[in-house]
Amino acid sequence: MAGASLENLDIDALSPEQQEKLRQFKIQTRIANERYLKAHPEVEVLLSHFLRDVFLKRPVDIREFAAEHFTDPELPQKIQSELQHDDK
């Protein structure tokens, strides 16, 4: 089953009680994720900057590109500047 995604699992293999618990877990996880993202707007800025650079530069080695991008010593200042710009 290694490598199988959750979408490929047979939901009918779960009892109705398990299905309900799974549904509630998914709802609670989504709520927690949304709260986290609201509390940390820098995550959206960080990801949008990275994706914009990926689409503009189309690197051959995405892993190397990501490593360089996220270890850029100027990245915190860039993110902070963007957040301050959005507040205006």
Asked if residues 83 and 42 have their Cβ atoms less than 8 Å apart, the reply is yes
Number of domains making up the chain? 1
Alpha-carbon distance of 21 to 59, in angstroms, equals 42
Residue 59 lies in a domain: yes
pTM of this structure:
0.63
Q: Provide the residue type at 22 as one letter.
A: L
Say if 50 falls within a structural domain: yes
pLDDT (mean) for 10-39: 91
Asked if 45 and 82 count as a contact pair (C-beta separation under 8 A), the reply is yes
Average pLDDT estimate for 28-54? 94
For 20, the domain range is 15-88
Q: Does the pLDDT at position 43 exceed 70?
A: yes
